[in-house]
A = this chain, B = another copy of it.
Amino acid sequence: MALSKKPTTGMKDILPEEMQVRDYVIGVIKETYGKFGFTPIETPCVEAIQNLNSKQGGENEKLIFKILKRGEKLDVAQATTEEEVVDGGLRYDLTVPLVRFYSNNEAKLPAPFKALQIGNVWRADRPQKGRYRQFMQCDIDILGEPSNLAEIELILATTTTLSRLGFRDFQIRINDRRILKAMASYSGFAEESFDNVFIILDKMDKIGMDGVEAELLEGGFAKEAVDKYLDLFRKLEEAQDGIAYLAETLAGFLDEDVERNLQEIISSVRATKSSDFEIVFDATLVRGMSYYTGTIFEIAMPQFGAACGGGGRYDKMVGRFTGKDVPACGFSIGFERIILLLMENGFQVPGQPKKVAYLVEKGIGGGRLCEVIAKAQASRGEGLNVLVVRMNKNKKFQKEQLEKEGYTDFVEFYKDPLKD
């Protein structure tokens, strides 16, 4: 088969210009999260297939890049199903691997454990503009902290990071899975239909109240339940304090602790935030993953239609590996979206060293070449970036090209030193 020059379908090459922005953003992320006591960890990109197919990944489990068994374990001719030929897969998120990591290494980790992960994940999505099958995720998680100190620190760390990257006027929307459930339960939906109700509710910001009503009725839900449900959302829009309104209305359906918990997170973040963003309660916030057990949150950017990150509490997931539940809460930044926004706005990486190009006449060698290189080494030692490159025939064009790469100073060297 002919060699392919293109990256494999749906994945992309990253050119120097974008890499510079990515490296800068990763640096800011690591430094800022470090200040909050998060420590980087890494897990392999490949996970055992049973871990990826454990029903924690929702729809993503349909998008796994699967890895073929090797050697004697593989018998393609005999096999009739995928399961027989596969033993691993590329991770589709960083949460399942984190929980496995924690289960595997708990004894060596501090309690609570504050993890920072920056790494690629893979999903065999239908290729579309701006979405790739390999993309970077950036997650922070706190394992072993039952109180809302986890949520507060996660939100402050994330917003501080976004703010250091120059983002303003964004919003943190926050909700609680228990409120979602209580609202549905109070309205008379059966528990087994909750997920279907939430999938429709999740479209509220796109199709509006009427759209949600229509889809619920089309979905076969009782008119009475739908009316009662939507009435809650209508009343919420008028309420001064939405959380208090719900706590009162849903009494008997909602754990009393939920109100205090959410109010405390919101007021603590408001009181201590140093940057320019809002945190607001939003009863229509769903977040897709079924593993969330409590608080859920999302970043809404005015410049960007979709969410730019999100997370929540998932207290029951470690138990699936170890048999013993450990409280857990995480926040994932939409790394690729942030890069896209920065690139679109012509973001210039600050604090770059001065770039100097030495143009060296062709044929220079021996002692003369040593002189040039020694000079370059000295300048590098003083902090400059020095490119040593052969001088082209068309020197003017060469310099123009180098200027595009950010070179501002040029020094020419000839075989005859007197010509320099």
Q: How far is the CA of A44 from the CA of B12 in the complex (A)?
A: 6
A353 within 8 A of B: yes
A306 within 8 A of B: no
Contact A85 B110 (CB under 8 A): no
* Docked complex: A1-55 residues within 8 A CB-CB of B: 1-8, 11-16, 19-20, 22-23, 27, 30, 34-37, 39-48, 50-51, 54
A346-380 CB mask vs B (1 if < 8 Å, else 0) is: 00000001010100101001110110011001001
A292 within 8 A of B: no
Segment at the B interface, from A173-181, A216-224, A267-275, A277-285: A267-275
Contacts A88-B8, A387-B36, A387-B37 given: A370-B267 contact, CB under 8 Å?
A: yes
A401 within 8 A of B: yes
Contact A124 B374 (CB under 8 A): no
- Name the residue on B nearest A115 (C-beta): B16
Contact A68 B68 (CB under 8 A): yes
Interface residues of chain A: helix, strand, loop or mixed (majority): mixed
Interface extent on A, as a size class?
35 or more
Contact A122 B74 (CB under 8 A): no
Contact A14 B41 (CB under 8 A): yes
Contact B134 A44 (CB under 8 A): yes
* Docked complex: A376-418 residues within 8 A CB-CB of B: 377, 380-381, 383-390, 401-402, 405
A313 within 8 A of B: no
A103 within 8 A of B: yes
A264 within 8 A of B: yes
Contact B12 A110 (CB under 8 A): no
B residues near A7, Cβ cutoff 8 Å: 43-44, 100, 104
A322 within 8 A of B: yes
Q: How far is the CA of A43 from the CA of B45 in the complex (A)?
A: 15
A209 within 8 A of B: no
- Name the residue on B nearest A362 (C-beta): B147
A345 within 8 A of B: no
Contact B66 A100 (CB under 8 A): no
Contact B65 A76 (CB under 8 A): no
Q: How far is the CA of A356 from the CA of B388 in the complex (A)?
A: 45
Q: Can you name 10 A-B pairs with beta carbons within 8 Å?
A: A3-B100, A4-B51, A13-B42, A15-B41, A19-B42, A35-B386, A37-B385, A45-B120, A76-B79, A149-B369
Contacts A35-B386, A41-B19, A105-B13 given: A152-B67 contact, CB under 8 Å?
A: no
Contact A76 B66 (CB under 8 A): no
A108 within 8 A of B: yes
Contact B5 A366 (CB under 8 A): no
- Name the residue on B nearest A358 (C-beta): B37
A129 within 8 A of B: no
Contacts A67-B65, A120-B45 given: A39-B19 contact, CB under 8 Å?
A: yes
The residue from B8, B111, B373, B384 contacting A35, defined by CB atoms under 8 A apart = B384
A112 within 8 A of B: yes
- Name the residue on B nearest A14 (C-beta): B42
B residues near A303, Cβ cutoff 8 Å: none
A240 within 8 A of B: no
**New A-B pairs, 16, CB < 8 Å, besides A6-B104, A36-B380, A153-B373:** A5-B103, A7-B44, A11-B44, A19-B40, A19-B41, A22-B42, A35-B353, A35-B384, A37-B385, A45-B90, A65-B67, A67-B67, A68-B86, A112-B390, A149-B388, A264-B366
Contact B68 A85 (CB under 8 A): yes
- Name the residue on B nearest A274 (C-beta): B377
